[in-house]
């Protein structure tokens, strides 16, 4: 019995990819350099108002989007990676007992609190509160003057 030649499936023409919708590129600018002859304007940076207007608190998604816009990163994934790396660095540094200066914001450090006696507010009986480590933040003078 002779084999019949197999029919080849007709190839469908490939669809063209839809053009991606990108915002027009903003010109990134810096301070003018000596002898360059080019006058560049500084970046315009402004935090976007959070959607929760009752408490004015950002969701994680809003925070990452703000970081992306502030740093001029093209992708959210890059901004998320930056935020996660900074959080990991701060956590590891505080775990080791290092003091972290946050330029323009203040200092983060770990402090040991002493064991003390406290009172149960319902019954009034004294309760032993154990010693423990606490994370402390001291705001810088510049931050206090700007915010308060």
Task: Note the pLDDT tens digit of each residue in 114-130.
Answer: 999 999 999 999 999 99
Query: Is residue 130 a part of any domain in this protein?
Result: yes
Query: Is residue 137 a part of any domain in this protein?
Result: yes
pLDDT, position 47: 82
Question: Nearest-CA neighbor of 41 among 56, 51, 31?
Answer: 31
Question: Nearest-CA neighbor of 67 among 51, 93, 92, 86?
Answer: 86
Given a cut of 50, is residue 5 above it in pLDDT? Answer: yes
Q: How many domains in the chain?
A: 2
pLDDT, position 30: 47
Beta strands in 10-79, from DSSP E residues, in sequence order: none
Say which CATH number the domain at 142 has. 4.10.520.10
**Which tokens go with 38?**
């080019």
Assess whether 90 and 105 both reside in one domain.
Answer: no
Domain holding 60, by residue range, is: 47-98
**In residues, how long is the chain?**
148
Assess whether 73 and 106 both reside in one domain.
Answer: no
Given a cut of 60, is residue 44 above it in pLDDT? Answer: no
Q: Distance (Å, rounded) from C-alpha 147 to C-alpha 119?
A: 35
Assess whether 111 and 84 both reside in one domain.
Answer: no
Q: What is the 3-state secondary structure (H, E, C) of 3-18?
A: CCCCCCCCCCCCCCCC
pLDDT, position 42: 39
User: What percent of the chain clears pLDDT 90, i.e. is strictly above it?
Assistant: 53
pLDDT tier at 95, thresholds 50, 70, 90 = very high
Q: Distance (Å, rounded) from C-alpha 43 to C-alpha 39?
A: 13
């Amino acid at each position: 019995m002779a084999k019949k030649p197999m029919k080849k499936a007709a190839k469908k023409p490939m669809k063209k990819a839809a053009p991606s919708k990108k915002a027009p590129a903003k010109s990134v600018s810096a301070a003018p350099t000596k002898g360059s002859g080019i006058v560049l304007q500084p970046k315009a940076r402004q935090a976007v108002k959070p959607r929760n207007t009752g408490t004015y608190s950002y969701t994680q998604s809003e925070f990452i989007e703000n970081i992306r816009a502030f740093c001029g990163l093209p992708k959210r994934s890059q901004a998320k990676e930056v935020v996660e790396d900074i959080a990991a660095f701060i956590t590891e540094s505080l775990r080791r007992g290092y003091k972290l200066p946050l330029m323009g914001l203040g200092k983060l450090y770990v402090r040991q609190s002493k064991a003390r006696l406290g009172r149960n507010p319902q019954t009034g009986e004294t309760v032993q509160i154990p010693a423990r480590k606490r994370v402390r933040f001291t705001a810088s003078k510049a931050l206090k003057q700007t915010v308060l």
